[in-house]
Chains A and B, each alone.
Chain A
Amino acid sequence: MSLFEEMQQAIIDGKAPVVKELTQKALSEGIKPADIFPKAIVPAMDEVGRRMRDCEFFIPEVLIAARAARAATDILRPLLVGDAAARPAGTVVCCTVKGDLHDIGKNIVAMMLESAGFRIIDLGADVSAEKIVDAVRAHDANLVAMSALLTTTMVNMKSVIEALAAAGLREKVKVMVGGAPVTESWARSIGADGYGKDAPAAVDLARSLAAA
């Protein structure tokens, strides 16, 4: 098994310490940090996404795998600053909306997007529309990903889209939404650009929105 394959397996198995060790080993062997992303982390997380979709993996394994992937990205990120070859796939501002503290789903999406090569500006949970607008501006983001897990808070997604429009940023960013009570038709009705029914779907959606 090649080093990249070993890394992929360790990520899929959720073995964070092994991933960390293998990442360091790869670097000490002179492998470029920018190569480790597409050759080890992205394919591993795509496989995790596939297994999640096929019910082989459930949230615990996805979280554990994502945490293992983070053991690699934490080492690689600082090394990639200013590396032109490692341009992120896009910059995503993500959060749960005002009033909503249920952030495990959002965190999974953020970790999977990060492993897919996106730069993540994670504003956390219970985030106001103003904060989202500020972050889009400050980080020159091209995607906003929001989640709501309560029917009582999902209405706040609409206010965010309105605030982005009012700030003149709506043309500049694509907005994707998700969360248990959210549906495709709800997403359309509030003028979002896309809805991801689960984390793998969110990654596919982000890729297509970023490429558009």
Chain B
Amino acid sequence: MEQVKTHRIVLQPTQVELTAPAGTPLRDLLFEQGVEFPCGGRGRCRGCRIRVREGSAELNDAQRERLSEEELRNGWRLACQCSLAGNLVVELRQWDAAILADDSPFVFEPRPGLGVAVDLGTTTLVAQLLDLTTGHVLAVRTALNVQARYGADIMSRVEYATAGDHLPELADLIRRQIASLIDQMIFSSKSVRAEIRDVVLVGNTVMHHLFCGLDVEPLSHYPFESPHAGLQQFRASALAWNLDPQATIRFLPCLGGFVGSDVLAGVLATRLSESEEIGGLIDLGTNGEIVVGNNSRLLCASTAAGPAFEGARISMGMRAATGAISQVVVERQQLVCHVLGNAAPQGLCGSGLVDAVAAGLDLQLIDPSGRFSNGRKEWTLATPVVLTQSDIRELQLAKGAIAAGLSLLLGRLGAGINDVKKLYLAGAFGNYISRASARRIGLIDMPIDQVSPAGNTALLGAKLALFSGDDEGGSYGRLRRKIEHVALKSDAKFQEVFVDGLAFPQLSEVQS
């Protein structure tokens, strides 16, 4: 057997060192490190740009279009357009201040010192250290939420916390983990610890409570409303964090039910509340969160979409990591699967699942009802990865819940899907899902040019909050009061609308 040549890549400023087979797309390597690709890795934006410090990376027309001559001379490349052709040392510019400075109309008032923004997810954490004077990101760290071993989803974590009085333990775990991420960022960026003035965290209501040490019992049963869902502030000394004792740690307020400050931050980042046109923001996770509205009214809700989009409860499902089929397309009636990490296929992640079902519908292997046609029991995508009948069912439940939530919220606004001018898809999955496939399966019933992946809007919103002052009167405080939470489960029409959204559209319905 031929020896596969491997190369080494060192990422700065994280100093992470990886080894991968020659030819591995950088997109796959960097995605696993938490780097996001706002345009989905199509070379249409500059979000994934990197600076090559040692070694060389290929240059193509897409990059010449997006990068200036000076940038190209200085070694800037778009990671999504490059693959590993030799040993490399690259500087990551993910989430750099461009979004605050030029592209984005957000005006930030420079503040002295450093700040930390944290997106505290049920599964993953992303933290950034920022220079508050320039808006520059000095360091970034990603990690899996250390609490995940006590339950992958929010309900099992609530159960663990309440059943055995494990709340102090869970709070302690996550506080230590975030403190350690901050330590690592200080170290790697050679920053001065005492200059950190402000830490802003965002997350769903359960993450909020488990970090702040608040009783999650009210979140274990209907109506799933906690009396302590507001802004929580701590001094570093109270959390025993090795920062200036007076540094403030703020967990931004939740919106209601399970909808937390990550969604609030998302609204802040996408500026839904500033436009007269109706817009929407959807985070496609286990608790699919939806916000719709405009400058006069905003509604939010969460729907129990289930974990299908994250590859869970799918027979060969997996996270978007090496070996996952992340993309499936049909070319000349043949199935072409893209496998992350240039590796042998091992499983199917959320974006691959959506693509596979869309392809199955186009090839008429799957009926609009979701049933395999001709009595087929499963479908081999790329040996040994198969799609089963029950995988399709899980996807139907997930997309039905999101589609129903969106439709009911719009109904309350007196609007329909055609009134939505812009729909943002938040989070990593939102970046990776093919919008055409999402439309094909009826997840999002609107023209794809009105749908945009918005990246990690939770983190961006958290960063913006670092500049917005530390009281409830700040921009997020005003915004929070403007957003109404709707308990979809108590909407009598939910089931009817949900059932309506379970089947897949006929081909004729999506050709426009």
Contacts and interface: CB of A to CB of B under 8 A. Distances in A.
Contacts of A153: 220-222
Interface string A49-62: 00000011011110
B277 interface: no
Contacts of B220: 99, 150, 152-153
B490 A101 contact: yes
Given A58-B390, A64-B502, A100 B221 contact: yes
B495 A152 contact: no
A59 B222 contact: no
Contact of B221 (A60, A63, A99, A104): A99
B393 interface: yes
Contact of A60 (B304, B489, B490, B499): B499
A152 B389 contact: no
Nearest to A63: B499
Interface in A87-111: 98-104, 107
Contacts of B221: 98-100, 150, 152-153
A107 B397 contact: no
Given A61-B369, A150-B155, A152-B220, A67 B499 contact: yes
Contacts of A14: 369
Interface string B487-512: 00110000100110011000000000
Contacts of A103: 489, 495
A126 interface: yes
B158 interface: yes
Interface string A148-169: 0011110000000000000000
A15 B20 CA distance: 53
A14 B503 CA distance: 11
Given A126-B222, A152-B158, A61 B495 contact: no
Contact of B389 (A58, A63, A125, A150): A58
Interface in B359-389: 369-371, 389
B495 A107 contact: yes
A60 B393 contact: yes
Main secondary structure, interface of A, reads loop
A60 B368 CA distance: 12
Contacts of A100: 221-222
Given A107-B495, A125-B489, A152-B158, A59 B397 contact: yes
B19 interface: no
B345 interface: no
Nearest to A107: B495
Given A55-B390, A152-B162, A60 B222 contact: no
B396 interface: yes
Nearest to B369: A61
Contacts of B222: 98-101, 125-126, 153
A67 B371 CA distance: 18
A77 B168 CA distance: 56
A-side interface size class: 20 to 34
B495 A60 contact: no
A103 B494 CA distance: 11
A23 to B, nearest CB: 20
B285 interface: no
B490 A58 contact: no
B215 interface: no
A130 B162 CA distance: 26
Nearest to B496: A67
B159 interface: yes
Contacts of A55: 389-390
Contacts of B393: 58-60
A115 to B, nearest CB: 16
A61 B396 CA distance: 11
B317 interface: no
Interface string B274-292: 0000000000000000000
A99 B158 CA distance: 15
Nearest to B219: A152
Interface in B380-434: 389-390, 393, 396-397, 400
Which of A60, A99, A150 neighbours the largest number of chain B CB atoms within 10 Å of its CB?
A: A60
Contacts of B158: 152
Contacts of B371: 56, 61
Interface string A33-67: 00000000000000000000001101111011001
Contacts of A60: 369-370, 393, 396-397, 400, 499, 502-503
Nearest to B393: A58
A17 to B, nearest CB: 13
Contacts of A67: 499
A126 to B, nearest CB: 5
A153 B162 CA distance: 13
Contacts of A98: 221-222
Interface string B161-184: 010000000000000000000000
Nearest to A57: B371
B489 A64 contact: no
A126 B489 CA distance: 11
Interface of B: 155, 158-159, 162, 220-222, 304, 369-371, 389-390, 393, 396-397, 400, 489-490, 495, 498-499, 502-503
Q: Which 5 A-B pairs have the closest CB atoms?
A: A99-B221, A60-B502, A58-B393, A152-B220, A101-B489
Given A63-B495, A125-B489, 6 more contacts: A60-B393, A98-B222, A100-B222, A101-B490, A150-B155, A152-B155
